[in-house]
Amino acid sequence: MINLSVNVNKIATLRNARGGNIPNVQQVAMDCERFGADGITVHPRPDERHIRRSDVFALRPLVRTEFNIEGYPSEQFMDLVLSVRPTQATLVPDAPDALTSSAGWNVEANMEFLTDIVDRLKEAGIRTSIFVGTDVDNIRAAARTGADRVELYTGPYAEEFDENPERAVAPFVVAAQAAHNVGMGLNAGHDLNLNNLKFFQQHVPYLAEVSIGHALIADALYLGLEATIKAYKECLK
């Protein structure tokens, strides 16, 4: 079974829009686990427009599955991650004001920087994942940083899926094999949903984990959180 990590950023966005503590991010995270999620993901940003640093600290003792913190590895981010010590840190190349992740790292161009970050995280016992596209040379470069996994940016797959699923998934199959060949674990995320997830997991080998937030929370508005998580888990069988 491929693990489903639920990104709860959108719960925090809804809470922050009104103030107060409704919906309660910590309670939703615990409910996600209770309903079958294999992990909880958060992506704190410097402006705290959704997940706040205080949320990350509050979630740490509550999460019983895998806890994944993703973000750009600034010193502020690293201080948070090294204090909280999640199961996994996913490194993304977002600018501080980015609306959402829209590309993977150019690893070769950032080799020294990423290698230093990975070393610091691994010394703390934190599994590391680097957010990348499907370029095979880039994935091989990611392996040279010492990272444990890559997370494939699946935005291009989602964009092309309705028009041509086979063409959309083809580069991800090649990328997955490349990651496996260099001994890296494989995650995936961005715009995966109930429409395209099953096809993706059926065709992409060696997939260990998907991280899904926006689509899952949107589906939960119609289906309810428990039914939604079960539906996503069904796609991953």
Active-site residue, from 43, 66, 151, 209: 43
Find out whether 32 and 8 touch, Cβ atoms under 8 Å. Answer: yes
Q: Could you give the 3-state DSSP secondary structure of residue 1?
A: coil
Active-site residue, from 33, 50, 66, 70: 70
**Cα–Cα distance for residue pair 232/201, rounded to 1 Å:** 11
The answer to whether 180 is a known catalytic residue is: no
**Cα–Cα distance for residue pair 24/15, rounded to 1 Å:** 7
The encoded tokens of residue 215 equal 């689509």
The answer to whether 50 is a known catalytic residue is: no
Residue from 199, 228, 189 nearest 3 by CA: 189
Residues 6+ apart with CB under 8 A from 145: 107, 111, 114, 115, 118, 130
The answer to whether 166 is a known catalytic residue is: no
Active-site residue, from 33, 50, 190, 209: 190
Question: What amino acid positions are annotated as catalytic residues?
Answer: 43, 70, 190
